[in-house]
Amino acid sequence: MKKVTISTLLKMKQEKQLITALTAYDASFAKLFDEQGIDLLLIGDSLGMVLRGDDDTLSVTIENMAYHTRSVRQGVERAFVVADMPFMSYSTPEQAYLNAAELMRAGASMVKVEGGAWLLETIKGLQERSVPVCGHLGLTPQSVHVFGGFKVQGRDDLQAENILEQAKQLEQAGIQLLVLECIPTDLAEQISLALSIPVIGIGAGAKTDGQILVMHDMFGISANYMPKFSKNYLSQTGDIRKAVQQYIQEVQEGEFPSAEHSFN
């Protein structure tokens, strides 16, 4: 199978082929997911919660992310690899440049940052320095204490308008991919139609250009809790490979997420 690049993902959006994505944290699972045909793997700072059992992602360091990025890259031949920039690793543009370079050297093809307008200068600078960037709006887990918990965002008109505007600003600044987390389905659809870049949803309904899940949630083995927007594919199939295959199939056919995994 041909290697997936950002051009591949853009073409998929243009041709209305839905993108499939999962998190991964080591070579073994990365290889398994890659062999089943997953399009994108994210080394998420969610590792703080699902690997270490933390209450949030804030304790994850750039060293942690580089270690797991290097591990995942060892298992990948085809999938596009994105790595999270962890909490406070990109608070200034200069800091972002140094930390993004570490993740790219570890094997990432793109780095992901959480936030809106305050990141525009940083995103432009990263692009100018040959670092592709994925944005992340809606429920941004690194801001959990600002939100007062893991809460759905964009339910009122003003907040929804703000998220849409920030998405447009991020695209203008140079992001090539956007993750939308825990926002209403209609808002996610509006953003996906407004942007020319691929938009990947998690808890954002079925009207985005693709879906991503945390692998531990998909297998029903997360240390803390199972979010509403996830689905336990392992309990349905009894086999890890079949679970991944079913997830990919349901995303590609628009069957997942259904209404019960989405927000209004």
Chain centroid to CA 28: 20
- What is the pLDDT at residue 194? 98
Give the residue ranges of the annotated binding site for Mg(2+).
Answer: 45, 84, 114
- What is the pLDDT at residue 145? 79
Q: How many CB atoms lie within 10 A of CB 130?
A: 9
Q: Among 57-66, 155-164, 225-234, which is the least confidently predicted range?
A: 225-234
Give the residue ranges of the annotated binding site.
Answer: 45-46, 84, 112, 114
Fold of 6-261: TIM Barrel (3.20.20)
Whether 227 shows a pLDDT value over 90: the answer reads: no
Give the residue ranges of the annotated binding site for 3-methyl-2-oxobutanoate.
Answer: 45-46, 84, 112
The full set of domain ranges for the chain reads 6-261
| Per-residue pLDDT reduced to its tens digit, 34-43 | 999 999 999 9
Which one from 15, 102, 171, 181 is the annotated catalytic residue?
Answer: 181
Whether 223 shows a pLDDT value over 80: the answer reads: no
Which residue reads 């209004």 in tokens? 264
Tokens linked to 175: 């992001």
Average pLDDT over residues 75-97: 98
| Per-residue pLDDT reduced to its tens digit, 23-62 | 999 999 999 999 999 999 999 999 999 999 999 999 999 9
| Per-residue pLDDT reduced to its tens digit, 126-137 | 999 999 999 999
- Look up 181 and say whether it is catalytic: yes
Q: What is the DSSP string of the chain?
A: -PPP-HHHHHHHHHTTPPEEEEE--SHHHHHHHHHHT-SEEEE-TTHHHHTT--SSSTT--HHHHHHHHHHHHHT-SSSEEEEEPPTTSSSSHHHHHHHHHHHHHHT-SEEE---SGGGHHHHHHHHHTT--EEEEEES-GGGHHHHTSS-----SHHHHHHHHHHHHHHHHHT-SEEEEES--HHHHHHHHHH-SS-EEEESS-S-SSEEEE-HHHHTT--SS---TT---HHHHHSSHHHHHHHHHHHHHTT-SS-GGGS--
Q: Among 66-70, 146-150, 220-224, 233-237, which is the least confidently predicted range?
A: 146-150
